[in-house]
Amino acid sequence: MEWESRYSERARGMKASEIRELLRLTQQPDIISFAGGLPSPESFPTVDIAEVTTHIMLTAAEEALQYGTTEGYNRLREYCAYWSKKEGIEATMDNVVITSGSQQGLDIVSKILLDPNDVVIVEAPSYLGGLGAIRAYQASFTAVKMDDEGLMMDQLEDTIKKMNHPPKLVYTVPTFQNPAGVTMIEKRRKKLVDLAHDYDFVIMEDNPYGDLRYSGDPVKAIKAFDDEGRVIYTSTFSKIFSPGMRLAWIIGHETFIRKFVIAKQSTDLCTNSFVQRILYEYCRRDLIENHINKIREIYREKRDVMLESLEEYFPEGCSWTRPDGGLFLWARVPEYIDTKVMIGEAIKERVAYVHGAAFFVDGSGTNTMRLCFSYASNEKIREGIKRLGRVIEKEIKAHKA
Ligand SMILES: Cc1ncc(COP(=O)(O)O)c(C=O)c1O
């Protein structure tokens, strides 16, 4: 049976992610992987989850095993509205929908807003899953650079001015960005909202890492500066609780949320009722705050171990970001090294990363790489960075020879 000609035009544009292939490879047990963005397995609160699950089965099994509303379990929606207040977001339950991971939110937002050839402005570099969701609805990308203070607003405005039509959407991961680890400063957050008003576009704020801060002062969400309902915000329990539970939430203006619910209905009818109740009970018992404090300690140490190891083992000519939170840092090697080509050598040394070019819509960033510090043990971080340092040194020597 021949399938290719039967696919919709939309599906024909969907390509297997090269990163997925790489991640499969790096699952071999003897490879030290800095490639995936996985929480540390030691961070999962398994005993508490077992206890809460038993409680739900004994007290609310009928509701937990039943279909729920598309909007999500109301108590969890209320909790998410409350949780988002610490970032300055004023929301009620009516602004919140529980989603099956924020990836689902990104897909449904793209489905609702994007027509083929609409222009979406993304960060250079940007989160691959976000790019994939946008690409699936046949929009086109324009990338704008970031520096240590996040997306560069002067460049963004210049880019918009040169466009025939303003962009439909600006997609940003403003806090401890995946992949670069940088955080947009408050001044730029306000400026972005002003630009959205002036040029009449929507902002998609994707914030999976905001609660994972290890140093520096908290920042307000972009959504906190939005008094027109132009910002759609999403956050997730994947990195602070468990990605396997697939629970996240989206916050938006009530009008937009009504449309979002209709679109979600045809996607999955409702998010998993069972895990929503487990998570809510976990939060109701105030276990989540303690848990986040615990994982912050674990990840702060891992980040520091990686930074110290980079200092010790990466050769001269390399540089890297020093993120205040999240799971990633971003390293640069000399211009003449292509990190996509180098990955083969790294795998031979049993160490893996994601080459930076994968995160750029224009294929630039060939001398960059994303390193995830949350997954490997401290010993493996040291050993892995040592091996990677050796691989880079070899490349430098080969270039000079
Ligand atoms: C920036 C960003 N957005 C969204 C997601 C998807 O998260 P979820 O597990 O909630 O679907 C990730 C996961 O790594 C991410 O890094």
Q: Which atom of ligand 1 is nearest to the CA of 103?
A: 11
Residue nearest to atom 8 of ligand 1 (CA): 101
Query: Can you list the residues of the chain whose pLDDT is less than 70?
Result: none
How far, in Å, is the centroid of ligand 1 from the Cα of 133?
12
In this structure, what CATH number is given to the domain that contains residue 227?
3.40.640.10
- Residue 96 β-bridge partners: 251
For 345-377, write each residue's pLDDT tens digit.
999 999 999 999 999 999 899 999 999 999 999
Residue 236: inside a domain: yes
Residue 264: inside a domain: yes
What is the predicted pLDDT for the residue at 41?
Answer: 86
How far, in Å, is the centroid of ligand 1 from the Cα of 37?
9
Domain of 382, in residue numbers? 4-45+289-400
Mutate to test the pocket of ligand 1, among 102, 209, 232, 370 (most ligand atoms within 8 A of CB): 102
What is the predicted pLDDT for the residue at 150?
Answer: 97
How far, in Å, is the centroid of ligand 1 from the Cα of 77?
19
For 326-335, write each residue's pLDDT tens digit.
999 999 999 9
What total number of domains does the chain contain?
2
Residue nearest to atom 7 of ligand 1 (CA): 102
Tell me the C-alpha to C-alpha distance, in Å, between residue 117 and each of 44, 60, 133, 137, 143.
Answer: 42, 47, 14, 9, 15
Q: Which of 162, 156, 159, 139 is nearest to 193 (CA)?
A: 156
Q: Which of 106, 127, 19, 119 is nearest to 360 (CA)?
A: 127
Question: Which of the listed residues 254, 286, 318 is the one where a domain comes to its end?
Answer: 286
Question: Which of the listed residues 286, 309, 343 is the one where a domain comes to its end?
Answer: 286
**Phi, psi (degrees; rounded to nearest 5) at 320:** -155, 160
In this structure, what CATH number is given to the domain that contains residue 330?
3.90.1150.10
In angstroms, the CA 391 to CA 374 distance is 22
